[in-house]
C-alpha cells in the first residue's frame, strides 16, 4: 500500500486511536466519551507538543536574547500564525491570545462595550447563550446603567430572526451571539445575523466555543467583528483561548489588563502601550497552552475540517434517530440546523441520576444546566442530560448510550 | 432482573428504599404552621430544596415538610429527613445533621452516635451507598445542611459549596 493510499483511507476509527484517554476502561467498560462539548480529549500530537515544549524549549517569551527564549517565542508566535490562518483572519494583529472564551468575551465587554454604554443604550444577546456570553454583558450594563436585551428562541431552540431584526435598534452598542449553542446544539446562521446587524451599523461578537471544533470557520466570510473560542473544546489544553477582533476596532480599544508585555515604555508620567495584539496580552501568557493549541490546529488540518464535519453530522443524525427510538425520551433542542449536541430528558428520571448510572456503564455525558440556565428556564426544566459527539466518536458510542439509558429505565422501573 | 448485572455499588445507591422515597416523597409541601425555613441549593446541578420546620415552645419539632426539585438521591434524602426529625427535640435533630453529614462525608466510625439516634437514623442508612460516589455526596447531604441552617434560623440559603 502506498503512503498516499494509507492517508486517504484513514477513517474515524484511526482518529480515535490518536487519543490515549479514549483507550481506557471506566467501571469495567471501554470509555464512551460523549462530553466533548464540555471539554474535548487531546490527541497524542497535542500532548507531545506540550511535553516537548516543557522539556526542551521553555523560557519566557518576547524577553530574552538567549536561545530558549527565542525558541519559546517562535513556538508561541508560530501558533498565533496558525490560528490566524485557521480562522482566515486578515492579520496576526487581530489574534489576541487569552485564557479562554470567557476572558475573550470579558475583554470585549470591558474594553469595547463599557466605554460606549450608558443609560438608554443596550447590549443585545439571545436566549440561547452560555453564561459566559451573558454575565460579562450584565456586569458591563450594571457598571453603566445600560440595558441587556434578550432575543427570544422558539420551541425548537432557534433564534427568532424576525424578532431579532426588530431588536437591532440604533441604541444597541453590540450584538453578542453564539455560533453553536452548547446546551441545544443549534447552529445560528451567524453570517445572516451579522449582515442584519451591520445593516444597522451594529458590531457583532460571535461566541465560537462550540463552533470551531466542528466546522471550518472563516471570520471574514462570517463578517463578524469579534470571534471568541477556547483551545480545550478543540482538542487543545485548558486555560488557553483566542479573541479575534477586527483590527480597526482593537486598535481603538483601551487595554484590558495592565502589566508586562503590553507596554512599549513605562514612565510614572505616562505609559505607552504596545502594538496589537500585545496591547491585550499583559503578563507572561500560557505559553505551553498556546503551543498545544497550535498542535491541535495542525491535527485538525491533518484530517480536514470538511471530513470532520461530515463525520459528525452523520453521527449526530444517527444519535438523534437512535435516541428517538427510546420510549419516554424527550429531546430538548430540535433545531433544523444542529451540530454535535443532543440534550434530552428520560421519563421522570433526574439527569443527575442518569449521569451516575451511565457513568457506571462507561458512558460519559454531561448533566445539569450546562451553564445555560436561561435555556432551561425557557423549557421549564431544571436541567437535561446532554450527549455530544466529536471527531473520535462512532456509532458504537451512541449504541452504548442507548443501551445504558435502557438500563437506567430498568433501575427506575 | 437486569439490574442484578449492575455493579453492587450502583445497586447500593439506587436501592428500593431510596427509589421509594424519591418517587413518593413523604411530607412534600409546606406544612400549615411553620416556624423555621431554610433553602438548600446545589449550584452544580441546580437542585433546590426548601425545608420547613414547625418547632413548638418546648423546642420540639412538631412537623416538617419540604418542597423543591432534585435528583432521586436529594429528594429521597429530604423525605427521609422529615421522617427522622418529626417529634425530635431540636438539639437531637441537629445531632442527626452532624451524624448524617459525618457518615456520608468521612465515612469513618469515629465517636459513635448516641444509641437512640442511631436507631432513629436506621432508614437513613439507605443513603450510605453514595459514599462510593463522591460526585453525589452533596446531593445526599443537601437537605441535612438545610435542616441545620433552619435550626440556626439562618436567612442565607445552605449550599453544598
Q: Of the candidates A79, A56, A82, which has an alpha carbon nearest to the alpha carbon of residue A67? A: A56
Residue A245 sits in the same domain as residue A294:
yes
Residue A29: all three cell numbers together: 467498560
Per-residue pLDDT reduced to its tens digit, A375-408: 999 999 989 999 999 999 999 999 999 999 999 9
Chain B residues near residue A410 by CB distance under 8 angstroms: 1-3
Q: Which of A134, A183, A371, A401 is catalytic?
A: A371
Q: Are residues A251 and A392 in the same domain?
A: no
pLDDT in tens, A357-379: 999 999 999 998 889 999 999 99
Reply yes or no on whether the pLDDT at B106 is more than 80: no
Are A215 and A348 in the same domain? no
Between B119 and A204, the more confident residue is A204
Q: What is the pLDDT of residue B4?
A: 42
What is the pLDDT confidence band of residue B13, given thresholds at 50, 70 and 90? confident
Tell me the nearest-neighbour CA distance from A224 into chain B, angstroms: 33
Output the pLDDT for position B144. 96
**What would the pLDDT profile of A77-123 be if each residue is shown by its tens digit?**
999 999 999 999 999 999 999 999 999 999 999 999 999 999 999 99
State whether A179 and A90 are in the same domain. Answer: yes
Q: Which CATH number goes with the domain that contains A394?
A: 3.90.1150.10
Do A144 and A292 fall into the same domain? yes
A145 class by beta-carbon count within 10 Å (0-12 exposed, 13-18 middle, 19+ buried): exposed
The domain boundary, picked from A301, A335, A361, lies at A301
How far apart (Å, rounded) are the C-alpha atoms in residues A287 and A280?
15
**Considering CB atoms only, which of A27, A368, A411 is closest to B45?**
A368
Option in A373, A376, A410 nearest B3 (CB): A410
Ramachandran angles phi, psi of A326, nearest 5° = -80, 125
* Residue finishing a domain among A282, A301, A320: A301
Q: How many CB pairs under 8 A join A and B?
A: 59
Q: Which residues contact B98 (CB under 8 A, 6 or more apart)?
A: none
More confident residue, B103 or A150: A150
State whether A286 and A313 are in the same domain: no
**Domain B15-154 belongs to what architecture?**
Alpha-Beta Complex (3.90)
CA–CA separation, A72 vs A62, rounded Å?
9
Q: Which of A258, A275, A301 is the last residue of a domain?
A: A301
d(C-alpha A281, C-alpha A276), whole Å: 9
User: Residue B107: which pLDDT band, with cuts at 50, 70 and 90?
Assistant: low
Task: Flag whether pLDDT at B161 surpasses 80.
Answer: no
Task: Please determine, for residue A9, whether its predicted confidence score (pLDDT) is greater than 80.
Answer: no
Report whether A201 contacts A171 (CB < 8 A). Answer: no
- Counted residue by residue, chain B has a size of 161
A103 shares its domain with A226 = yes
In chain A, the number of structural domains is 2
One domain, residues A126 and A241: yes
Q: Residue A380 sits in which domain range? A: 3-43+304-411
Instruction: Give yes or no: A371 in active site.
Output: yes
Same domain (yes/no): A354, A387: yes
Q: What is the pLDDT of residue A267?
A: 87
Over 70: is that where the pLDDT of A1 sits?
no
* A318 and A269 share one domain: no
Residue B114 has pLDDT above 90, yes or no: no
Average pLDDT score over chain A: 95
The conformation of residue A175, written as its DSSP 8-state character, comes to E
Closest residue in B to A408 (Cα) is: B3
Q: Is B154 exposed, middle or buried (0-12, 13-18, 19+ CB in 10 A)?
A: middle
Q: Is residue B154 very low, low, confident or very high in pLDDT (cuts 50, 70, 90)? A: low
pLDDT at B156 over 80: no
**CATH, residue A244:** 3.40.640.10
Tell me, what's the ipTM? 0.82
- Between A27, A28, A353, which is nearest B72 by CB? A353
Question: Both A207 and A349 in a single domain?
Answer: no
pTM of the model: 0.91
Task: Give the helix ranges, DSSP H, for A108-189.
Answer: 135-144, 161-167
Same-domain pairing of A25 and A169: no
pLDDT bucket at A260, cuts 50 / 70 / 90: confident
Amino acid at each position: 500500500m502506498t503512503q498516499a493510499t494509507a492517508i486517504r483511507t484513514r477513517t474515524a476509527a484511526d482518529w480515535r486511536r490518536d487519543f490515549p484517554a479514549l483507550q481506557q476502561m471506566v467501571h469495567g467498560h471501554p470509555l464512551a466519551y460523549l462530553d466533548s462539548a464540555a471539554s474535548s480529549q487531546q490527541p497524542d500530537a497535542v500532548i507531545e507538543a506540550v511535553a516537548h515544549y516543557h522539556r526542551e524549549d521553555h523560557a519566557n517569551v518576547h524577553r530574552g536574547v538567549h536561545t530558549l527564549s527565542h525558541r519559546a517565542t517562535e513556538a508561541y508566535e508560530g501558533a498565533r500564525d496558525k490560528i490566524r490562518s485557521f480562522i482566515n483572519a486578515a492579520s496576526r494583529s487581530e489574534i489576541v491570545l487569552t485564557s479562554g472564551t470567557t476572558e475573550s468575551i470579558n475583554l470585549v465587554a470591558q474594553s469595547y462595550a463599557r466605554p460606549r454604554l450608558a443609560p438608554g443604550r443596550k447590549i443585545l444577546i439571545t436566549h440561547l447563550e452560555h453564561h459566559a456570553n451573558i454575565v460579562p454583558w450584565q456586569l458591563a450594563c450594571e457598571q453603566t446603567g445600560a440595558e441587556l436585551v434578550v432575543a427570544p428562541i422558539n420551541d425548537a431552540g432557534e433564534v427568532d430572526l424576525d424578532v431579532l431584526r426588530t431588536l437591532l435598534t440604533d441604541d444597541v452598542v453590540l450584538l453578542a451571539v453564539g455560533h453553536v449553542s452548547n446546551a441545544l446544539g443549534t447552529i445560528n446562521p451567524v453570517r445572516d445575523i451579522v449582515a442584519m446587524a451591520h445593516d444597522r451599523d451594529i458590531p457583532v461578537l460571535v461566541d465560537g466555543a462550540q463552533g470551531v471544533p466542528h466546522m471550518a470557520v472563516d471570520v471574514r466570510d462570517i463578517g463578524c467583528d469579534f470571534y471568541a473560542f477556547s483551545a480545550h473544546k478543540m482538542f487543545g489544553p485548558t486555560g488557553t483561548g483566542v479573541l479575534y477582533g477586527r483590527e480597526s476596532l482593537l486598535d481603538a480599544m483601551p487595554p484590558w489588563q495592565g502589566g508586562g508585555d503590553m507596554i512599549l515604555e513605562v514612565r510614572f508620567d505616562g505609559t505607552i502601550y504596545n502594538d496589537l495584539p500585545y496591547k491585550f496580552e499583559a503578563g507572561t501568557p500560557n505559553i505551553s497552552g498556546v503551543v498545544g493549541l497550535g498542535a491541535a490546529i495542525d491535527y485538525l488540518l491533518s484530517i480536514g475540517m470538511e471530513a470532520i464535519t461530515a463525520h459528525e453530522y452523520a453521527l449526530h443524525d444517527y444519535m438523534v434517530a437512535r435516541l428517538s427510538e427510546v420510549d419516554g425520551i424527550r429531546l430538548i433542542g430540535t433545531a433544523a440546523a444542529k451540530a454535535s449536541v443532543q440534550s434530552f430528558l428520560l421519563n421522570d428520571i433526574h439527569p443527575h441520576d442518569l449521569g451516575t448510572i451511565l457513568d457506571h456503564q462507561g458512558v460519559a455525558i454531561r448533566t445539569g444546566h450546562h451553564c445555560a440556565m436561561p435555556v432551561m428556564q425557557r423549557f421549564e426544566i431544571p436541567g437535561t442530560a446532554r450527549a455530544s459527539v466529536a471527531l473520535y466518536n462512532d456509532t458504537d458510542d451512541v449504541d452504548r448510550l442507548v443501551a445504558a439509558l435502557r438500563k437506567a429505565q430498568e433501575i427506575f422501573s | 432482573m437486569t439490574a442484578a448485572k449492575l455493579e453492587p455499588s450502583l445497586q447500593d445507591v439506587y436501592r428500593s428504599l431510596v427509589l421509594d422515597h424519591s418517587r413518593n416523597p413523604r411530607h412534600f409541601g409546606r406544612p400549615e404552621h411553620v416556624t423555621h425555613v431554610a433553602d438548600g441549593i446545589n449550584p452544580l446541578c441546580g437542585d433546590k430544596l426548601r425545608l420547613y420546620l414547625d418547632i413548638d415552645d418546648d423546642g420540639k419539632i412538631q412537623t416538617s415538610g419540604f418542597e423543591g426539585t432534585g435528583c432521586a438521591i436529594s429528594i429521597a434524602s429530604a423525605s427521609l429527613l422529615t421522617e427522622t426529625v418529626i417529634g425530635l427535640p431540636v438539639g437531637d435533630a441537629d445531632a442527626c445533621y452532624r451524624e448524617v453529614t459525618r457518615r456520608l462525608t468521612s465515612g469513618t466510625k469515629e465517636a459513635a452516635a448516641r444509641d437512640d439516634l442511631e436507631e432513629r437514623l436506621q432508614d437513613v442508612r439507605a443513603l450510605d451507598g453514595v459514599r462510593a460516589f463522591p460526585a453525589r455526596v452533596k446531593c445526599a447531604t443537601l437537605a441535612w445542611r438545610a435542616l441545620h441552617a433552619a435550626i440556626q434560623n439562618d436567612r442565607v440559603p445552605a449550599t453544598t459549596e
